[in-house]
C-alpha cells in the first residue's frame, strides 16, 4: 500500500474534501515540458497525478489521448524515460503518482522489473487498463513487495456481483468510470 496515496485520502476525508486527480500524458510535448506540467499541477493543488505511459495502441483512449501518446512516442518517450520523469519530479514534490498504462508496455519491460523500477522511481500506484484481476494469468503477488497500489476499474456496466470482487482487488482507490466508451470528449478531437 502506498503511504502517499493512503495519507492523501486520509487528509481529504478529515477535511470532508474530494480528490482532484489530474491526468497528463507523459512526454507530450516532451520530457522537460511534462516535468514542468507535473510540477505546476502539484503546486496548484492536484491531490494525485495520473501519469499516462505512452503506448502505440491505446484501445481505451479517445482521439485526444491517442494523439498525445503518438506525440510522446515521436518525442522519444519510453517506459524508462517515464520512470526518469518520475525520479526528477520526486526531487521536489511528494504528490502521489499513479501510472496509467496498458499491459503491453509493462510486459515488454518485464512485469516484475517494471513494478520494482516504478516503485524505486517514486510511483505510488498503477492502473493497468486492460488487465482484469480475474483474467490476468499473471500473479499479482509478484509485485506485492513493491508498495505500488493496484488501482482497478469499475464501469457503469459492471455487474453488481463483480463490483465487490473488484473492490477487494483494488488498492489505494477505485477508478470509477463515469460512462462507457473511450476516454475524452465525444465528437472528435482537435483538427
Q: Check: CB of residue 127 under 8 Å from CB of residue 177.
A: no
Output the CA angle 122-126-127, nearest 5 degrees.
155
Q: Which of 61, 51, 17, 187 is nearest to 121 (CA)?
A: 51
Coil/strand/helix, residue 98: strand
Alpha-carbon distance 166 to 130, whole Å?
Answer: 14
Alpha-carbon distance 45 to 92, whole Å?
Answer: 15
Q: Which three cell numbers stand for residue 93?
A: 514534490
Coil/strand/helix, residue 168: helix
Task: List the catalytic residues.
Answer: 50, 61
What is 24-86 written as a DSSP string?
A: EETTSS-HHHHHHHHHHHHHTT-SEEEEEPP-S--TT--HHHHHHHHHHHHTT--HHHHHHHH
Amino acid at each position: 500500500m502506498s503511504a502517499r496515496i493512503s495519507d492523501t485520502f486520509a487528509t481529504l476525508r478529515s477535511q470532508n474534501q474530494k480528490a482532484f486527480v489530474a491526468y497528463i500524458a507523459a512526454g507530450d510535448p516532451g520530457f522537460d515540458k511534462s516535468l514542468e506540467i507535473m510540477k505546476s499541477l502539484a503546486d496548484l493543488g492536484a491531490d494525485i497525478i495520473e501519469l499516462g505511459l505512452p503506448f502505440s495502441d491505446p484501445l481505451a483512449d479517445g482521439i485526444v489521448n491517442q494523439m498525445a501518446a503518438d506525440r510522446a512516442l515521436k518525442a522519444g518517450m519510453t517506459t524508462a524515460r517515464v520512470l526518469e520523469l518520475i525520479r526528477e519530479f520526486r526531487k521536489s514534490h511528494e504528490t502521489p503518482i499513479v501510472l496509467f498504462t496498458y499491459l503491453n508496455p509493462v510486459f515488454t519491460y518485464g512485469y516484475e522489473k517494471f513494478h520494482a523500477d516504478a516503485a524505486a522511481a517514486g510511483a505510488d500506484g498503477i492502473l493497468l487498463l486492460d488487465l482484469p484481476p480475474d483474467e490476468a494469468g499473471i500473479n499479482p503477488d509478484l509485485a506485492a513487495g513493491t508498495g505500488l497500489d493496484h488501482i482497478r476499474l469499475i464501469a457503469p456496466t459492471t455487474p453488481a456481483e463483480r463490483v465487490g470482487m473488484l473492490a477487494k482487488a483494488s488498492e489505494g482507490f477505485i477508478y470509477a468510470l463515469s460512462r462507457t466508451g473511450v476516454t475524452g470528449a465525444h465528437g472528435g478531437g482537435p483538427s
